[in-house]
Each structure stands twice: as C-alpha cells, then as structure tokens.
C-alpha cells in the first residue's frame, strides 16, 4: 500500500469503450471522459493496479481506391487528464497505451498485394513487484483514441479499456500533492 493512503474498497474493474466510423481522407482523434465518482471531500483517490486494452477491429481493411503503400495506425491511451492531441507513454499523465500498426500495398485494381498488422501495447498486468500503476486523484480519467486515414470507408474502429484498481483515502498533504501533480502535468 502506498504511504499516506488507506484502501477503502475491494478491487474494482471499470470498463469503457470508444469507436468511430473511419474516414479514408483524414485522421481522427477522440477523447472520452470516464467518471470515477470519487469523493473529493473525503480525499478519495483511485489506485490503478492494472490496465487492459483491446482493439475492436484490429485488422481493418485499407482504402483500395488508389494504388500505393497504405500505412495505417490505431492508437489508444488512457490518461489522467484530457488530451487535445494523442499522447502515448511519453506523457507523464498517460497510464498506458496500445497501438495497432498496419501496412498494405494496393496494386492496380482493388487487389491488396500484402497486408500485416502489428500490435504494440502496455503490459496487460503490472509486474508482481509493483504495488500500482498510477494514482488518479481527480474525478475522472480519459480514453484517447487516434485513427489514421487510408482505411476503407464503411468500417468502424475502436477499442475497449478495462481499468483495475481500488478506492483509497489519502491524508490531506498526500491528497493535495497528488491533485497538484496531476493538474500540473496536463
């Protein structure tokens, strides 16, 4: 248990998803707020112990209306603050991230010569030596989804997130430090 915190619930799982129809001509960014319903009057925080990210359509088809190389990506991150552009684990307020990187080569006509997808993700569970992944001190977290162009129209892409953790109460100085750190790292 992190110093200055007292666990106030058993293990909780929070699941949420986001999705969007693809636009073959433009990249898209979505940010979805997920309310944790914490009680700030009691200095309540959420201690994240695990994170699982699954893509709904990991092998979405490329746009075949034009020939050439089709690099396509789907990226999802979970952050403690709202994002205006996609941020991965290089950002201090991102708890975890995952990415599907696809590549297709479209030849003359609608034929796809080759196609592959590579998934890169955060660990599905933290190492046994870690007590927690993150502590969320504000009342919500955010799912940030970025999808590139060049996917075939008419498809929907998205991802589902499951956050594992528990509620805890913090002493006043710990709570103030956590909130300030979270808000300043935006």
Say if CB 98 and CB 123 are below 8 A apart. Answer: no
Residue 104, beta-bridge partner list: 70, 115
Domain membership flag for residue 83? yes
Let me know if residue 53 belongs to a domain. Answer: yes
Q: How many domains does the chain have?
A: 1
Does any domain span residue 8?
A: no
Res 91: pLDDT: 86
Nearest to 99 by CA among 79, 81, 124, 73: 73
Question: How far apart are the C-alpha atoms of 51 and 49, rounded to whole Å?
Answer: 7
Q: Is the alpha carbon torsion for 1, 44, 166, 17 positive or negative?
A: negative
Provide the whole-model pTM: 0.86
Average predicted confidence (pLDDT) for the chain: 86
Which pLDDT value is given to residue 88? Answer: 85
* Domain annotation covers residue 7: no
Domain containing residue 52 = 17-184
- CA 143, CA 122: separation in Å to the nearest integer? 14
Give the Å distances, CA to CA, from 99 to 20, 39, 87, 182: 16, 33, 12, 24
Alpha carbon distance 39, 168 (integer Å)? 10
Q: Which residues of the chain have pLDDT under 50?
A: none
The DSSP annotation for the chain comes to --TTEEE-S--EEEEEEEEEE--TTS-EEEEEEEE----GGGTEEEEEEEEEEEES-TTPPBP-SS-EEEEEEEEEEEESS--SS---TTSTTEEEEEEEEEEEEE-SSS-EEEEEEEEEE--SS--TT-S-SEEE-SSEEEEEEEE-S-BPTT-EEEEEEEEEEEEEEE-HHHHHHHHHHHHHT-
């Amino acid at each position: 248990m992190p110093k200055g915190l007292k666990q106030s619930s058993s293990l909780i799982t929070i699941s949420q998803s986001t999705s969007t129809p693809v636009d073959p001509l433009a990249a898209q960014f979505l940010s979805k707020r997920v309310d944790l319903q914490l009680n700030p009057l009691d200095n309540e925080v959420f201690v994240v112990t695990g994170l699982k990210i699954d893509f709904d359509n990991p092998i979405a088809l490329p746009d075949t209306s034009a020939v050439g190389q089709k690099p396509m990506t789907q990226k999802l991150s979970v952050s403690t603050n709202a994002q205006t552009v996609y941020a991965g684990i290089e950002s201090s307020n991102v708890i975890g991230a995952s990415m599907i990187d696809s590549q297709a080569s479209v030849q003359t006509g609608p034929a796809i010569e080759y196609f592959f997808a590579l998934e890169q993700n955060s660990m599905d569970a933290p190492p046994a030596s870690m007590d927690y992944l993150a502590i969320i001190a504000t009342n919500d977290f955010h799912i940030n989804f970025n999808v590139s162009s060049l996917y075939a129209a008419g498809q929907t892409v998205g991802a589902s997130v499951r956050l594992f953790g528990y509620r805890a109460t913090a002493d006043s100085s710990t709570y103030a430090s956590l909130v300030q750190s979270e808000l300043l790292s935006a």
